[in-house]
Amino acid sequence: MVDSELQWPERREEIRSLLIKYFVGSYPAVTPRIISAEIISEEADPDSSIRRRISIVLDTPNRVSFEMALWEPKGQGPFPLLLTAPRFYQRYWAEDALKRGYAVCLFPGVDSHHREELYMGYDSVWQEVRREYPKATWTEISTKAWLASRCIDFLLSNSSVVQILPRQIAIIGFSRYGKQAIVAGAFDQRITCVVARSPGSPASSPYRFTSRNTFAETPADFPSEWFLPSLRNFVGRENELPIDAHGWYALIAPRACLIHTGHNDGSEPTFAVEKAYIEGRSVYQLLGAGQNLRIDYRAGGHSSGQPPEQISFLDRQRNLDWIDVSFDRRLASRNEFSEQLIHDFDWQDWNTKQNPDHRLINHKDTIRDQVLWSLGEVKEKLIVPNKPEFLTVEESKLMTHDRWSPKGISRVPIRFGSNVRGNLYFKEGLTEAMPVVIWLHPLSYHSGYNEGYGVQETTLYHRLADNGFAVIAYDQCGFGLRLLEGRDFYRNYPRWSKLGRMVMDARDAVSFVLDGKGKSSSAIPIFDKERVFLLGYSTGAITAMYAGVLEDRIAGMACFSGWTPLRDVSKALVTGGNRRLWDLHGLQPRLGWFDGRESELPFDYQDLISQFLPKPCLIVTPKNDRFADHDAIKKAINCVRLSKPKKAESALTWISPDGPNCFQADQQKQFIKWAKSIR
């Protein structure tokens, strides 16, 4: 535990070594000197800037060379410097910075999966450089970050054709280039400001908070050689990584760093971004520089401009404002970058607002009554958001609702319950009444019900529709397009719970099917009201269990992963235990009253399953789910079978496969097979 600035250098070196070992590989033992630098072209631009191409030759065994572009603004130096890779959408930053009086270096960091006609070789020279050092284990991203540093070597040397302010060097990047910018800043302390727009995992987002149960990146998802191949061995056990994304902040601190992320960025679950930020913030605060690290949220997704990959003008200016603030150029105010978090639930503060009498529960109450108690008090009048009646075309494009759709699948926007907007998916041309699946998604704060990383052929809701089911899909409270509803939830409803709202919405979806309570934007098919199923994955599985206890009208319930017994906390340090529910995600705060005395909880998941029987129930709990205690789950299932042997034998299907927590094609097909068997 580091609790003083004097202890920090040793811990910093340890973190640096871990990031090299597990993420980016080792660098050359000795940094080569620059043998020569030759200007190969020079042009005066109409904006009065001078734009040069410079060839740099390094003192490596084969005298490897690379090219950089250098733009010099009008006026007298020395100038602040902005580095970025010349991907087309990043050159807009370069042009904007030039107008602000920055010198700009376009270094050879174009990704190997991209090509830039005006910057040929900027995507491949890293391979030539890497071959010069066969003992180094560095990867594509770390090699290109290293090349950015070699550009700085030249620009700060006496041979430089432009004078640079050595304490005002910034690097900026978007998406994969944001990863690159973070790595460059982490390993080169001459870079005094880092701006990473939507860098994703494992840059701003720790793998332990992304992975499959959030529909986001796992260590299996980075292409080719971005990071060490051995990193992929941690899929499903990301918590065993000895360091994660927060380590980058530790290496960058106390220098300025801005993470610019979207509310619905498909590469960055906001919850994961904030957890890394909070860990990184502790280092900045230790070093007396808490103001130098910020998350800066924007509405929308991964991109914000037109065409889709382009970055909007306002976003670009805000990014550059942060650099100006960091360099004390007085073109912007630090107050414009105040700390604003979305997932900042404070259980202790919540607890002060509770009625002490509500802590009391009669253990002789029915399971139904105990469940209602645990979910808190529903307000009679709910806040109505100022939003269109149905999901708009723009919203569905943002959430990529149609991205993986097979031919012949219709999507109809619907509305039900307390202003819940969603979509109904079904196959065109079917004339028989359709069985209905209400899809309850996992901890996908950024994407809601929509699948992101890990899609195999098509998404769940399209796959179900293609197999003859009508599928109701919507974002649960605090997720996707309802993200900020979760941020404000306990301010608006201090004695309710987010899980309570999620359960209410699921039941309202049932009423939409069975009672017609709601609206659709166009014609929808006839439903088979005898075959309405709840399907939940991860947190959605918990929603399904609670809704299943309270809702008598459904035909079956399927729960994939998501739960571990409440009373058994023997492996809580590994799984997160109940704290994930009442504190970390703020879903069910009343469970916090039983912290340290979990054995006194009035019910557990086996009681919910038993209560649901004899209706068909599918429970799938992978053996290697790092969020669950498999031995405790096995005991819970056996408890159900012993307490209700006949009902369990006929109605309960428990599958416990090898493998990690995920919900992809194989698991989705398991559900389809099970649901089709129920008549």
pLDDT at 331: 72
pTM beyond cutoff 0.85: yes
The model's pLDDT over 524-557, given as tens digits with 9 standing for 90+, comes to 999 999 999 999 999 999 999 999 999 999 999 9
pLDDT at 633: 97
> Mean pLDDT throughout 409-427?
97
Judging by DSSP bridges, how do beta strands 103-106 and 65-72 pair with one another? antiparallel
Asked if pLDDT for residue 317 goes beyond 60, the answer is yes
**CA–CA separation, 304 vs 314, rounded Å?**
10
Handedness of CA 548, 549, 551, 553 (dihedral sign): positive
Looking up tokens 């910018």 gives 181
Superfamily of domain 5-337: Alpha/Beta hydrolase fold, catalytic domain (3.40.50.1820)
CB 492 within 8 A of CB 441: no
How many helices and strands in the chain, by DSSP H and E?
A: 22, 18
Judging by DSSP bridges, how do beta strands 65-72 and 50-58 pair with one another? antiparallel
Asked if pLDDT for residue 225 goes beyond 80, the answer is yes
List % helix, strand, coil for the chain (3-state, nearest 5). 40, 20, 45
Asked if pLDDT for residue 469 goes beyond 90, the answer is yes
**CA–CA separation, 53 vs 240, rounded Å?**
45
pLDDT at 307: 62
Q: Give the count of beta carbons closer than 10 Å to the beta carbon of residue 678.
A: 15
Fold of 365-676: Rossmann fold (3.40.50)
**CA–CA separation, 334 vs 403, rounded Å?**
39
pLDDT at 309: 63
Fill in the amino acid letter for 625: D
pLDDT at 305: 63
Average pLDDT of the chain?
95
pLDDT at 384: 86
Asked if pLDDT for residue 195 goes beyond 90, the answer is yes
CA-to-CA separations, 622 to 299, 475, 559, 659, in angstroms, rounded: 36, 25, 12, 6
The model's pLDDT over 126-136, given as tens digits with 9 standing for 90+, comes to 999 999 999 99
Q: Where are the domains of the chain?
A: 5-337, 365-676
Fill in the amino acid letter for 398: L
Written as one string, the DSSP assignment of 124-167 is: THHHHHHHT-TT----HHHHHHHHHHHHHHHHTSTT-SS-EEEE
Asked if pLDDT for residue 318 goes beyond 70, the answer is yes
> Mean pLDDT throughout 408-419?
97
> Mean pLDDT throughout 489-507?
97
| Better-predicted residue by pLDDT, 358 or 95 | 95
pLDDT band at 306 (very low <50, low <70, confident <90, very high): low
DSSP collapsed to 3 states, 73-136: CCCCCCEEEEEECCCCCCHHHHHHHHHCCCEEEECCCCCCCCCCHHHCCCCCHHHHHHHCCCCC
The model's pLDDT over 280-305, given as tens digits with 9 standing for 90+, comes to 999 999 999 999 999 999 999 998 66
Asked if pLDDT for residue 308 goes beyond 60, the answer is no
Asked if pLDDT for residue 145 goes beyond 80, the answer is yes
Q: Give the count of beta carbons closer than 10 Å to the beta carbon of residue 509.
A: 28
Closest CA to 606 of 630, 566, 637: 637
Please, what is the angle between helix 367-375 and helix 539-550, to 10°?
A: 130
Torsion-angle region of 300 (φ positive above 0: left; ψ -120 to 50: alpha; else: beta)? left
- CA 7-12-15 angle, to 5 degrees, is 135
Asked if pLDDT for residue 381 goes beyond 90, the answer is no
Rg (CA), the chain: 27
The model's pLDDT over 37-47, given as tens digits with 9 standing for 90+, comes to 999 999 999 99
> Mean pLDDT throughout 84-109?
97
Q: Which helix (H) or strand (E) holds 665?
A: helix 665-676
**CA–CA separation, 391 vs 521, rounded Å?**
9
Same fold, 5-337 and 365-676: yes
